[in-house]
Amino acid sequence: MIFITALFIMSPYLMIRGLNSTNTTAGDPTTLPDPRTSSSSVAETIFSRRSTRSFSDIPITIENISVLLWSTIGIIVDGITGPTRASPSAGATNPLMIYLFARDA
């Protein structure tokens, strides 16, 4: 079975002001576990970062998918001016379009 999930996530800042977001899903929704964040320092993370151009056939775990999605669109703080994202986005004002394609092997 192959399914595609497409999400259009508007900024939480803009949603508070009444603008709508659109969620489109093909396939059955999957509940993700809470993301586990690393306790590594910024320096350790930077020094251990590597680009890869060869990939294995080992599927990514649901836990890693959870962390990946949280890192791109996750809300970390409900700050003074509203929610902020885990990734920089100029005060959470940039709309994001995230596509996740998953194949059940």
Token reading at 88 = 């920089």
Task: Tell me which residue has tokens 């192959």.
Answer: 2
Domain boundaries, the chain: 2-35+59-103
Give the pLDDT of the chain (105 residues) as one tens digit per residue.
333 344 444 444 444 444 445 555 667 777 777 777 667 777 887 788 788 788 788 888 888 888 888 877 777 776 676 677 776 766 656 667 777 777 765
The rounded distance, in Å, linking the Cα atoms of 45 and 37 is 12
